[in-house]
Structure 1
Amino acid sequence: MSAGHSHPLHRPGDTPVHRMAPQVKVVAAVAGVLCVVSTPRERFWAFGLYLAVLAGVWVLARIPPGWLAKRALIEAPFVVLAFAFPFLAGGPTIDVLGVALSEHGLLSGWNIVVKGTLGVLVSLTLAATTTPGELIVGLQRLRVPTMVITIATLMLRYLDVIAAEARRMRIARICRGHDPRFLWQVGATARGIGTLFIRSYERGERVHLAMVSRGWTGAMPDQGRPAGRAAWLLGLAPTALAAVVLGIAL
């Protein structure tokens, strides 16, 4: 279960950020996002400082901005929604290039875009510098409930297996004349999803029995040492800067 596997969001490297204890990075990321969310939307300068602090972490971790920008496109639907707010919201309006836009809508859209983007970038930074296995170990060291750890471990371990099973089933359907592009074949697609669920459930039962027979106790093996005071101080330094910015902004 502790065997590692590649993940599209992880960027291997040997930097101080990569070597940092995973529990420290998890706490720093969560605390940083809380600082961003708690900042009043009218404090435009504060969000620029948050981005500067995050950029410093990227420099230490040697993460190219382009690599992050490609993966940050996941928030595109929320950005589209935010751009619609100035046209749909009511209240006082202001003229921008001859177009009347709602002041409340502009602030609401800005709030969604800036906080959502910073939150996504923090999450991508954590994922880029921490493998999925390290994240599980970090959560375990933070005393996250054992059941949550077990579910997350199995999900990470067998997500690729289930995806491969789905691809094989899709190829088998296509070889038999099924084309998922046709609307009238949606019934076959739905039945295929049900079959995939049953196969995944059966595979999970077999995996659980195999784990129990090999001495599984419900916890991931952790051969590492807990983070010391110096590691916590160094890892939480960017979060401390973000907390200072939040204190000034409030």
Structure 2
Amino acid sequence: MGAGHAHPLYRIGDSVVHRAPAEVKLVCLVVFVFAVVATPREMFWPYALYAVILLGVWRLGDLPLRWILPRMLIEAPFVVLAVLLPFAEGGARVEVAGLSLSVSGLYAAWGIIIKGTLGVAASLTFAATTPARELPLALTRLGVPATVTPIIVMMLRYTDLLSAEIRRMHIARLARGDSPRMMHQAGAIAKGVGALFLRSYERGERVHLAMASRGFTGAIPEMPGVATAARATTAQWVTVATPAMLAVTVAIIAWGTR
């Protein structure tokens, strides 16, 4: 799958977060996100503590805010949706700056924005400190089904390839006089999308057959010097999982004091 491949969100570094075992970081990511999602949206202080935990991890991982924040714009569509909720929800109303807003809608909007922001930030932290080549072995060690592992790995590996192919198709259309902003070109764009889908499907089928013919079953074997990394020790599990455990503690306290 290209051992030297690095996904665009990876930030090269040699921090303690970068060196942490990938399987432990993946478990921490999932636990942290679940803790954030499980926290009551009516409370505010737990989310401030979650942000402090992330800031601490960014400090240890040498991830500057100027690198993280621009990449969090991916959640912008969800923010737009959340802004509409206070106007659309029913129930009790409150006046804010002359506008009549739904109380439940305000809480719903707050929950979507803050939980989505923290989830995206945590995911970016994992992506920025974990090379793509470490993910297959980490998934195998965590017992992820062999059918799922190659799907995830191929998705990561070929996202860049498909993006490059889209750019090439776009340039080819422009070279032939295409104007993507003109409505009458919508048919050509739709045909291009269909052609790209078919090419992607056929490429995936060929890659799968090639891998299967070489004995690939979905599980990533331990191959010294090629696809291997030291297994996480007990001390590493305890140390690396500390931010996730802190998040779980905050969520439990939040429910206890609700």
Q: Fold match, TM over 0.5?
A: yes
CA distance in 1, matches of 2:201, 2:250: 48
Name 2:248's counterpart in structure 1.
243
Going from structure 1 to structure 2, the CA distance change for 1:197 and 1:77 (only over 3 Å counts) comes to closer
Amino acid across the alignment from 1:21: P
User: Does structure 1 conserve the Cα–Cα contact (< 8 Å) formed by 2:146 and 2:217?
Assistant: no
CA distance in 1, matches of 2:59, 2:65: 9
**For each residue in 1:28-75, what CA deviation from the matched residue of structure 2 results, as whole angstroms up to 9, or x when unmatched?**
010011111111112211111111111111110011112111111111
Counterparts in 2 of 1:75-114, with a 5 A limit? Answer: 75-114=75-114
Q: CA deviation at 1:189?
A: 1.9
Name 1:59's counterpart in structure 2.
59
Amino acid across the alignment from 1:9: L
**For each residue in 1:70-96, what CA deviation from the matched residue of structure 2 results, as whole angstroms up to 9, or x when unmatched?**
111111121122222222222222222
CA distance in 1, matches of 2:28, 2:173: 46
- TM-score when scaled to structure 2? 0.89
Q: Which runs of 5+ in 2 are unaligned?
A: 223-227
Going from structure 1 to structure 2, the CA distance change for 1:85 and 1:166 (only over 3 Å counts) comes to closer
- Identical residues among aligned pairs (%): 54
Superposed CA RMSD: 1.9
What SS is found at the alignment partner of 1:40? coil
Q: CA deviation at 1:221?
A: 4.2
CA distance in 1, matches of 2:198, 2:98: 58
CA distance in 2, matches of 1:243, 1:209: 43
Name 1:186's counterpart in structure 2.
186
Name 1:234's counterpart in structure 2.
239
Q: CA deviation at 1:116?
A: 1.0
Query: How many residues of Structure 1 are paired with residues of Structure 2 in the alignment?
Result: 250
Amino acid across the alignment from 2:146: T
User: Does structure 2 conserve the Cα–Cα contact (< 8 Å) formed by 1:90 and 1:102?
Assistant: yes
User: Does structure 1 conserve the Cα–Cα contact (< 8 Å) formed by 2:6 and 2:133?
Assistant: no
User: Does structure 2 conserve the Cα–Cα contact (< 8 Å) formed by 1:2 and 1:220?
Assistant: no
CA distance in 2, matches of 1:100, 1:184: 43
Q: CA deviation at 1:123?
A: 0.7
Q: CA deviation at 1:144?
A: 0.6
Range moving further from structure 2, 141-150 or 158-167: 158-167
What SS is found at the alignment partner of 1:146? coil
Range moving further from structure 2, 124-133 or 228-237: 124-133
